[in-house]
Structure 1
Amino acid sequence: MEQVDCVVVGAGVVGLAIARQMARSGHETILLERESSFGTITSARNSEVMHAGIYYPTGSLKTQVCLQGNALLHAYAKSHGVPYNPCGKMIVASDKTQLDDLEKIWEKACANFVPQLSRLSKEQAQALEPVLRVEEAIFSGSTGVIDSHSYMLSLLGEFEDAGGVIAYQSTLQKTTPMQEGNNGYRLEVLTDDGSVFPLQTRYLINSAGMSAPKVAAQILGFKAEWIPTPYFAKGNYFSLAMKSPFQRLIYPIPEPGGLGVHVTMDLGGQAKFGPDVEWLEIEEESQVSYAVDPERGNKFYAAIRSYWPDLPDGVLSPAYSGIRAKISKPGEPAADFRIDNAQVHGHTGLINLFAIESPGLTSSLAVAQQVEQLLI
């Protein structure tokens, strides 16, 4: 049986960041990924936004790692040549009825000590983005967009340079805690040829995203009370079939379950709108359909025209969709990030990451540092 210091489950952006952190700290690390490549699920289906930490509850883990991660990610992209655009974003109150909501966002952002924030009057906002319908706005200078694939490729390269090994088409089927002094875990890993590969590790890190509850449930003797129920909120995106009139990201006042149908762009300047919030009545990620219903575009037009009234007809095309890894029900406040270690479940050397949805990309380097600190 092969023995290693650390096994990380899930090669999304957070799993890659954690695996890199552990390998660069001198731990022999294997990264297990059930798909044939890295970052093909949630990490490939998002807005690629570098979030600032504006919306999240003050004092929450989500706010902490977002603020830390934003600074780390900007520095990483710059030092490693990862393409990114620190374009900033505007949060828009499109009419006077939304001014109270905008004020609450401002107060929370200030309480969170979000850097590079400013208030914009109607005239100042329209001077920056002339097509906007706006009464007032907040400008966030630390928000941007990043080439997430290039970022993940860079993380993978540094992981492998540090001696790490990634095993594709490898699914963790069973985990058995060893009883001899809490000194590790025996794993059964199903490989692409149908065989089962036994593996022993001192540290086990479950970063399986939407499947993290399922992976945790496969740990022998792991109590159900330690495993949250997963819920699945689909976010659909539509692309703009014309030149974008915006130079910055444009966010409306948030809606329940998400941040509203906002404007983001790729590094080529192509604008896209979304995500919306579509709750799915499914039990696990394998049941997800990523197809985008063109009929949802009807609601997109109405939402976008609240802040861009001159949006022409017929210029939105279904683009792609992603699923948020939620552990809160529809109508409930979004759950905080969970990085569960032995203080939660009593299993030394085990970390389960739950509810790492947005801003997971932004927070990835900070989450990786925190995971290592909790283990070592």
Structure 2
Amino acid sequence: MRSVVVIGGGIVGLAVAAELASRGDRVTVLEKEKRWGAHQTGHNSNVVHAGLYYKPGSLKARMSVAGNASMVAFAREHGVPVDVCGKLVVATSEDELPRLHDLAARAEANGVPAKLISASEAREYEPEVSCVAALRVESTAIIDFPAVCSALVDLLSSHDLRLQSPALAIRSASGGVEVATPQGVIRADALVNCAGLHSDRVARLAGLTPSARIVPFRGEYFELRRTSLVRGLIYPVPDPTLPFLGVHLTRMLDGSVHCGPNAVLALRREGYRWRDISLADLADVARFPGTWRLARKYARTGAEEVLRSLSRKRFAASLARLVPAVREDDLVRAEAGVRAQAMLPDGSLVDDFLIEMATRQVHVLNAPSPAATGSLEIAKYVADRVVLQS
């Protein structure tokens, strides 16, 4: 029986562990926090994406489309709450129509069920929405991703699951891998790194020089007091030059409506508030040449995001483009999330999942949204690549 140690207990790490276990491997999962899915998994909008946004043939496109189906099936099999409610992507002005049509063409190329509809048809789904046209996407769903993690943990009950167990050191040793933890050294035949916000650091700990650096972006959310304004999911037409989808409105399983997220540079890898600051993390970002190249390229966009972060009025105005009835006093601040976004030295943001390999090691180095949606598919892809090279 092969032994594999998985670093990271978010939804991707747990899905990888469950997939390896289903193939007969003995698995150890190391998670540094007190609970599973403590970071990206537990701080997102719980949307099972359909897969329409991503470049045809990319890992994101393939794993999001397949993951939409496999995640919904998993939820239904394991009693996890899920609602396949569909969503609207709305063009709020005539100049957004070409991008909306491009998005419809991309949905078709990716095999995503979607149709262009008129403004009046859009209002049949969302009476308060303002648009000139919209794209209706039927397969988008809402789910409880932390509950998916709990179901995966249950599947791994006979394996070695360790909370509060960070990886302190990693080395190759006599045909295997050794990982030092506060509780001692774990020896395994292979290692999989699914450490999310710290994935590049874990890769360097294991002796790799990863091609990209994780730069954390905080996404801030509000809840909508007047939940009657939104029936389902309302998204703007995204800017194709950015990896973020823009602020949107999402009705959750409990009936609440989440609004957001924006995107600002986090001042700590796990910086969920402006006052969460790490000088070491800031120095790490400042030393990376890609940071400054990105800042120069998107100076205006970055400034607008910061202003929106600091101004509830600006945030409400962004939402009012989609639903004009939204007012500043409708918004109640909710928990933020932090996106682990990989960046290249030239300042470009990695726009696909990034998975790199070494002897007896697989490193998942870029797995932001839609990684939760595609986690069961990412797990299969990673498990196929856990090869015991000599």
> Would you call these one fold, judging by a TM-score over 0.5?
yes
Query: Could you say which residue in structure 2 is the equivalent of 1:26?
Result: 24
Query: Could you say which residue in structure 2 is the equivalent of 1:335?
Result: 351
Kept in 1: contact 2:31–2:166 (CA 8 A): yes
- Residues 157-176 of structure 1 correspond to what in structure 2 (within 5 A)? 157-160=154-157, 163-176=158-171
Quote the offset at 1:149 in angstroms: 1.6
Query: Could you say which residue in structure 2 is the equivalent of 1:350?
Result: 361
Q: Could you report, residue by residue, the CA deviation over 1:249-305 in whole angstroms, capped at 9, with x for unpaired residues?
A: 00011143410110112211100101111123x4x625x243699734222111111
Cα distance, 1:274–1:107 mapped onto 2, change above 3 Å: same
Aligned equivalents of 2:136 and 2:343: distance in 1? 29
2:248 alignment partner, one of 262, 281, 285:
262
Aligned equivalents of 1:109 and 1:94: distance in 2? 19
Query: Could you say which residue in structure 2 is the equivalent of 1:218?
Result: 205
One-letter amino acid of the structure 2 residue matched with residue 119 of structure 1: L
Cα distance, 1:279–1:291 mapped onto 2, change above 3 Å: closer
Query: Could you say which residue in structure 1 is the equivalent of 2:335?
Result: 320
Residue 193 (structure 2) pairs with residue 206 (structure 1): yes
One-letter amino acid of the structure 2 residue matched with residue 170 of structure 1: S
Query: Could you say which residue in structure 2 is the equivalent of 1:297?
Result: 312
Kept in 2: contact 1:237–1:318 (CA 8 A): yes
Aligned equivalents of 2:152 and 2:319: distance in 1? 35
Query: Could you say which residue in structure 2 is the equivalent of 1:100?
Result: 98
One-letter amino acid of the structure 2 residue matched with residue 315 of structure 1: D
- Residues 167-186 of structure 1 correspond to what in structure 2 (within 5 A)? 167-178=162-173, 180=174, 183-186=175-178
Aligned equivalents of 1:242 and 1:306: distance in 2? 17
Kept in 2: contact 1:264–1:272 (CA 8 A): yes
Aligned equivalents of 1:5 and 1:305: distance in 2? 53
Kept in 2: contact 1:291–1:321 (CA 8 A): no
Quote the offset at 1:58 in angstroms: 1.4
Aligned equivalents of 1:278 and 1:218: distance in 2? 28
Q: Could you report, residue by residue, the CA deviation over 1:32-57 in whole angstroms, capped at 9, with x for unpaired residues?
A: 01011111111110010000111111
Query: Could you say which residue in structure 1 is the equivalent of 2:110?
Result: 112
Query: Could you say which residue in structure 2 is the equivalent of 1:194?
Result: none
1:361 alignment partner, one of 358, 362, 372:
372
Quote the offset at 1:333 in angstroms: 4.8
- Of stretches 246-255 and 46-55 in structure 1, the one that deviates more from structure 2 is 246-255
Q: Secondary structure at the match of 1:120?
A: strand
Kept in 2: contact 1:244–1:271 (CA 8 A): no
Q: Secondary structure at the match of 1:375?
A: coil
Residue 41 (structure 2) pairs with residue 57 (structure 1): no
Runs of 4+ in 1 over 3 A off after TM superposition: 289-296, 329-334
% identical equivalent positions: 30
Query: Unaligned stretches of 5+ in structure 1?
Result: 192-196
Cα distance, 1:23–1:223 mapped onto 2, change above 3 Å: closer
Quote the offset at 1:176 in angstroms: 0.9
Residue 119 (structure 2) pairs with residue 122 (structure 1): yes
C-alpha RMSD of matched pairs (Å) = 2.0
Query: Unaligned stretches of 5+ in structure 2?
Result: 276-307
2:326 alignment partner, one of 291, 303, 311:
311
- Of stretches 165-174 and 330-339 in structure 1, the one that deviates more from structure 2 is 330-339
Aligned equivalents of 1:331 and 1:245: distance in 2? 39
Residue 263 (structure 2) pairs with residue 277 (structure 1): yes
Cα distance, 1:212–1:333 mapped onto 2, change above 3 Å: closer
Query: Could you say which residue in structure 2 is the equivalent of 1:77?
Result: 75
Query: Could you say which residue in structure 1 is the equivalent of 2:278?
Result: none
Q: Secondary structure at the match of 2:52?
A: coil
Residue 222 (structure 2) pairs with residue 238 (structure 1): yes
Aligned equivalents of 2:384 and 2:2: distance in 1? 19
TM-score, L = length of structure 1: 0.89
Quote the offset at 1:63 in angstroms: 1.1
One-letter amino acid of the structure 2 residue matched with residue 85 of structure 1: D
Aligned equivalents of 2:377 and 2:76: distance in 1? 17
TM-score, L = length of structure 2: 0.86
Aligned equivalents of 2:216 and 2:338: distance in 1? 6
Q: Could you report, residue by residue, the CA deviation over 1:19-77 in whole angstroms, capped at 9, with x for unpaired residues?
A: 11111221111100101111111111001000011111111111111111111001111
- Of stretches 4-13 and 289-298 in structure 1, the one that deviates more from structure 2 is 289-298
Query: Could you say which residue in structure 1 is the equivalent of 2:297?
Result: none
- Of stretches 84-93 and 15-24 in structure 1, the one that deviates more from structure 2 is 15-24
Query: Could you say which residue in structure 2 is the equivalent of 1:136?
Result: 133
Aligned equivalents of 1:296 and 1:365: distance in 2? 38
Query: Could you say which residue in structure 1 is the equivalent of 2:66?
Result: 68
Residue 180 (structure 2) pairs with residue 188 (structure 1): yes
Q: Secondary structure at the match of 1:335?
A: coil
One-letter amino acid of the structure 2 residue matched with residue 247 of structure 1: R
Aligned equivalents of 1:4 and 1:58: distance in 2? 35
One-letter amino acid of the structure 1 residue matched with residue 370 of structure 2: P
Q: Secondary structure at the match of 2:230?
A: coil
